């Protein structure tokens, strides 16, 4: 290849959105690559047109072998949720961006955007959006035909996020451009152009949940005890998992979902998978997910059945095994990502001993904390302490070199 491939961002106005020098480069090129919509902006092009369809691997292979002059067209800013980032890692590119749709939307809205949280549900699942945006004052969303403004409004309201008002901007820069403000309830039954951007802005403040949610705030089975990982044990266990913003987490035997919900609030950009065999606990978990605005993957199965469908974890919490501990730990140990951790809560000496033995067999080292927690309790005008059940917190990680 004699020179770098040029990538040019194009707006909805087509030719009118690019500089004269960009038009000159396009006219002088032999191959013009782009989406069908971008290619349609240049009906008089004399060279070969190559539409981008499906995956980009075959396109990369072709461009790596191409000897002619090539221009790649992209929508808006190619490095903003576009193909520019991927292609630039594979081939030599010169990138000439146009305004991104987010920039244009905020311009129409007449508001600053340096303080906005920007994310995308374009071509990807909406799963997990609730915890990603919860508490954020200003959110910009790239959408698609499936995750359209109506679906986004319905999704947000299912988590009680009625503190937002939405600004929807359609066909930005084109002849059919339109934009305006909407209440979420009004968006549900309204149709929008497939080319749109949604900006959410808080119209009232909400209390953002902090780490260490009180047990009484969760929906749970009562008057039975021991069916929720108590706050003190929960916070110790989660700290031992060393979660990061993008961690993938498993919660096995999630019950009320207390650990999974707090994990999701830490790993907001990651993914949380929870599994529970009891239908009644599962229903309480769903209620807690809605209450605490957490959209995790919840499965009604008895582990280890069902774990095979989960993404490989960076962290695993095991609150209960209901038998089958060896099979569960075997799958967790084999699939745990490098530098990952497994935290298991055991209430009996027998389960403690069994778990430590299995971890050793799998090449893991285990640290054990015996947590004996007592809480103050008023008695007349005095105070005494009530002891919680002792819990062994087992934290396992691979031995070095394993």
Looking at the fold, whether 248 and 359 belong to one and the same domain comes out as yes
Which residues, in sequence order, are bridge partners of residue 298? Answer: 274
Assess if residue 208 is contained within a domain. no
Assess if residue 210 is contained within a domain. no
Assess if residue 322 is contained within a domain. yes
Assess if residue 207 is contained within a domain. no
Looking at the fold, whether 371 and 243 belong to one and the same domain comes out as yes
**In the predicted structure, residue 235 carries a pLDDT above the cut 60:** yes
**In the predicted structure, residue 173 carries a pLDDT above the cut 90:** no
Looking at the fold, whether 230 and 377 belong to one and the same domain comes out as yes
Q: How confident is the model at residue 49 (pLDDT cuts 50, 70, 90)?
A: very high
**In the predicted structure, residue 2 carries a pLDDT above the cut 70:** no
Mean pLDDT in residue range 298-308 = 95
**Percentage of the chain lying above the pLDDT 90 cut:** 90
Looking at the fold, whether 242 and 383 belong to one and the same domain comes out as yes
Mean pLDDT in residue range 302-326 = 91
Looking at the fold, whether 182 and 131 belong to one and the same domain comes out as yes
Contacts (Cβ under 8 Å, ≥6 apart) of 12:
171, 172, 173, 174, 177, 195
Pairing of strands 164-170, 178-183: antiparallel
Looking at the fold, whether 123 and 52 belong to one and the same domain comes out as no
Q: Which of 149, 178, 202 is the last residue of a domain?
A: 202
CA–CA distance from 139 to each of 31, 75, 102, 198, 321 (Å)?
Answer: 38, 21, 11, 8, 39
Q: Which of 99, 128, 160 is the last residue of a domain?
A: 99
**In the predicted structure, residue 396 carries a pLDDT above the cut 50:** yes
Looking at the fold, whether 93 and 112 belong to one and the same domain comes out as no
Q: Quick one: pLDDT at residue 323?
A: 72
Owning domain of residue 235: 215-398
Assess if residue 196 is contained within a domain. yes
Assess if residue 209 is contained within a domain. no
Q: Which of 202, 224, 254 is the last residue of a domain?
A: 202
Q: How confident is the model at residue 224 (pLDDT cuts 50, 70, 90)?
A: low
Each residue's pLDDT tens digit, 362-380: 999 999 999 999 999 999 9
Q: Determine which of 44-58, 105-119, 338-352 has the lowest per-residue pLDDT on average.
A: 44-58
Mean pLDDT in residue range 222-250 = 90
Assess if residue 306 is contained within a domain. yes
- Note the pTM of the prediction, 2 decimals: 0.89
Q: How confident is the model at residue 131 (pLDDT cuts 50, 70, 90)?
A: very high
Looking at the fold, whether 93 and 115 belong to one and the same domain comes out as no
**In the predicted structure, residue 311 carries a pLDDT above the cut 50:** yes
Average pLDDT, the chain: 94
Total domains, the chain? 3
Looking at the fold, whether 226 and 354 belong to one and the same domain comes out as yes
Mean pLDDT in residue range 146-153 = 97
Contacts of 33-38 spanning 24+ positions with Cβ under 8 A: 33/59, 33/63, 33/70, 33/71, 33/72, 33/73, 34/10, 34/72, 34/73, 34/74, 35/73, 35/75, 37/75, 38/10, 38/73, 38/74, 38/75
Q: How confident is the model at residue 225 (pLDDT cuts 50, 70, 90)?
A: low
Q: Quick one: pLDDT at residue 402?
A: 65
**In the predicted structure, residue 1 carries a pLDDT above the cut 60:** no
**Token digits of residue 185:** 């309830």
**Percentage of the chain lying above the pLDDT 70 cut:** 98
Q: Quick one: pLDDT at residue 223?
A: 65
Q: Quick one: pLDDT at residue 199?
A: 98
- For position 123, which CATH number holds? 3.30.950.10
Mean pLDDT in residue range 121-138 = 95
Looking at the fold, whether 182 and 327 belong to one and the same domain comes out as no
- For position 68, which CATH number holds? 3.40.1010.10
Looking at the fold, whether 389 and 345 belong to one and the same domain comes out as yes
CB 382 within 8 A of CB 355: no
Mean pLDDT in residue range 233-250 = 98
Token match 């209440």: residue?
183
What's the distance, CA 185 to chain centroid?
A: 25
- For position 316, which CATH number holds? 3.40.50.150
Assess if residue 187 is contained within a domain. yes
CB 176 within 8 A of CB 160: no
Looking at the fold, whether 230 and 132 belong to one and the same domain comes out as no
Phi, psi of 104 (to 5 degrees): -65, -40
């Amino acid at each position: 290849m004699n020179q770098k491939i040029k990538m040019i961002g194009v707006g909805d106005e087509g030719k009118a959105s690019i500089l004269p020098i960009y038009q000159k480069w396009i006219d002088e090129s032999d191959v013009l690559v782009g989406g069908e919509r971008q290619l349609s902006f240049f009906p008089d092009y004399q060279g070969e047109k190559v539409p981008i369809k499906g995956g980009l691997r075959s396109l990369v292979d072709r461009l790596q072998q191409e000897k002619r002059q090539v221009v790649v067209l992209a929508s808006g800013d190619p490095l903003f949720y576009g193909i520019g980032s991927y292609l630039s890692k594979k081939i030599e590119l010169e990138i000439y961006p146009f305004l991104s749709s987010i920039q244009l939307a905020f311009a129409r809205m007449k508001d600053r955007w340096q303080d906005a949280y920007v994310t995308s549900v374009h071509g990807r699942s909406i799963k997990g959006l609730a915890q990603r945006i919860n508490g954020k004052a200003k959110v910009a969303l790239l959408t698609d035909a499936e995750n359209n403004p109506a679906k986004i409004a319905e999704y947000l309201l299912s988590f009680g996020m009625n503190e937002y008002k939405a600004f929807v901007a359609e066909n930005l820069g084109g002849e059919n451009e339109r934009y305006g403000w909407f209440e979420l309830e009004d968006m549900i039954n309204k149709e929008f152009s497939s080319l749109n951007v949604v900006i959410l802005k808080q119209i009232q403040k909400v209390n953002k949940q902090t780490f260490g949610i009180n047990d009484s705030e969760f929906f749970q089975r009562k008057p039975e005890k021991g069916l929720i990982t108590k706050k003190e044990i929960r916070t110790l266990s989660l700290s031992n998992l060393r979660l990061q913003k993008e961690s993938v987490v498993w919660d096995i035997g999630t019950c009320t979902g207390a650990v999974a919900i707090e994990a999701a609030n830490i790993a907001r950009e990651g993914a949380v998978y929870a599994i529970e065999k009891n239908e009644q606990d599962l229903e309480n978990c769903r209620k807690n997910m809605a209450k605490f605005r957490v959209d995790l993957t919840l499965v009604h199965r008895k582990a280890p059945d069902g774990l095979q469908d989960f993404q490989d974890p960076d962290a695993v919490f095991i609150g209960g095994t209901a038998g089958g501990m060896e099979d569960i730990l075997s799958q967790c140990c084999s699939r745990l990502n490098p530098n990952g951790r497994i935290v298991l809560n055991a209430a009996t000496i027998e389960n403690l001993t069994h778990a430590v033995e299995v971890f050793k067999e799998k090449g893991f080292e285990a640290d054990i904390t015996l947590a004996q927690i007592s809480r103050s309790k008023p008695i007349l005008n005095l105070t005494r302490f009530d002891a919680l059940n002792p819990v062994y917190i087992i934290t396992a990680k691979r031995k070095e070199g394993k």
